[in-house]
Amino acid sequence: MRTFGLIGYPLSHSFSKKFFTEKFEKEGIAEHKYELFPIENIAAVISLIAADNSLSGLNVTIPHKVGVMPYLNELDAAAEKIGAVNCISIKHKDGQSILKGYNTDAFGFQESLKPFLKAHHTHALILGDGGAAKAVKYVLDQLNISYLSVVRTAAPDAILYADLTQELIDKHQVIINTTPLGTFPNVEAAPDIPYHWLKPQHLAYDLVYNPEETEFLKRARAQGAAVKNGYEMLELQAERSWVIWNA
C-alpha cells in the first residue's frame, strides 16, 4: 500500500483527491490511496509522516506552500527559486523519512499557458501577489515575458488597481488573475480592472477553475480577449506530482 495526500487548511474541497482517486481506479492501482490531511499548524506535518510509513508523497495547498519549506530536507532548484512548494516526495530509508520539495504549479502553468501565447504577448499584468503569484512570476521569467504586479494595498515592486491606465492595459496584453476572486460560491466577484480597455489582442488567464468561466473571464471575453481558466494547470501539476513520486 502506498498513500498520498494533500495538506492544507481548511480542505473543504479538493481537486487532488478526486483526480487521484479516479486515476487509481482507472489505471487499476488498487493498492494506492489518496487522503486529505487538514492541518492547521504546519509543524504537524512531521508527526503525520512519522505515523504512516506508507505515506509516499504529499501535495501542499493554502496556507502552507511557504511555511512547509523549513521542514524539508531538500528543495528542487525551481522550488527554491520560486520560494514555494506544492509537492513533496517522501522516501523512507533506515528508519528516517527524507522529504524533498518541488513546485509543480510552475510546470502546470507554463505548459497550459504556452499554446495561447502570441508574438505580441511580451508584457503581463499579475493580479495579486500572494503565494500563487510566485510560480507565475517564475514562469514568466522563463518565457522572457516582463510583468507588473497589481495589488490592493501598497507593496514594493507593485502598483495599485487604481493606478491602471489605458496605456498600461494596452502594453500588458497578458493578464493573469492569481487571486481567489470569483471562486465558487462568490461567482459574481472579479478583480477591479478597467475591462473596457481590453482588446482581442489580450489573453486573460485565471488560476481559478470553479466556476469554469469566472466573472473575470466573462468580462475579458466580452471585449474579444482570449481566455483560459486554471483547470488544465491543475491537471498538469497533478500529473507532474505523480511522475515525481514515482521517480
Show pLDDT as tens, one digit a residue, over the chain (247 residues): 999 999 999 897 779 999 999 999 999 998 999 999 999 999 999 999 999 999 999 999 989 999 999 999 999 999 999 999 999 999 998 889 999 999 999 999 999 999 999 999 999 999 999 888 999 999 999 999 999 999 999 999 999 999 999 999 999 999 999 999 999 999 999 999 999 999 999 999 999 999 999 999 999 999 999 999 999 999 999 999 999 999 9
Residue written as cell 480597455? 197
Distance CA 107, CA 21 (A): 22
H or E element: which one contains 100?
Answer: strand 96-102
Which of 65, 100, 134, 228 is an active site residue? 65
Q: Is residue 65 among the annotated active site residues?
A: yes
Q: Taking the CA of residue 128 as centre, how many other CA atoms within 13 Å lie in the half-sphere pointing to its CB? A: 19
**What residue spans define the domains of the chain?**
2-102, 106-233
* Res 95: pLDDT: 85
**C-alpha 85 chain-centroid distance:** 10
User: Do the domains 2-102 and 106-233 sit in the same CATH topology, yes or no?
Assistant: yes
Domain formed by 2-102, architecture? 3-Layer(aba) Sandwich (3.40)
Distance CA 230, CA 178 (A): 10
0.85 exceeded by pTM: yes
Q: What burial class does residue 157 get, using C-beta atoms within 10 Å of its C-beta: 0-12 exposed, 13-18 middle, 19+ buried?
A: exposed
* Res 30: pLDDT: 84
* Res 139: pLDDT: 98
* Res 181: pLDDT: 95
Look at residues 127, 147, 76, 62 and name the one whose alpha carbon lies nearest to residue 106.
Answer: 76
N- to C-terminal Cα separation, the chain: 17
Please check whether residue 26 is in contact with residue 55, taking contact to mean a CB–CB distance below 8 angstroms: no
CATH of domain 106-233: 3.40.50.720
Distance CA 115, CA 111 (A): 8
* Res 87: pLDDT: 98
* Res 109: pLDDT: 98
Distance CA 184, CA 212 (A): 10
How many other CB atoms are found less than 10 A from the CB of residue 91?
12
Look at residues 207, 215, 211 and name the one whose alpha carbon lies nearest to residue 137.
Answer: 207
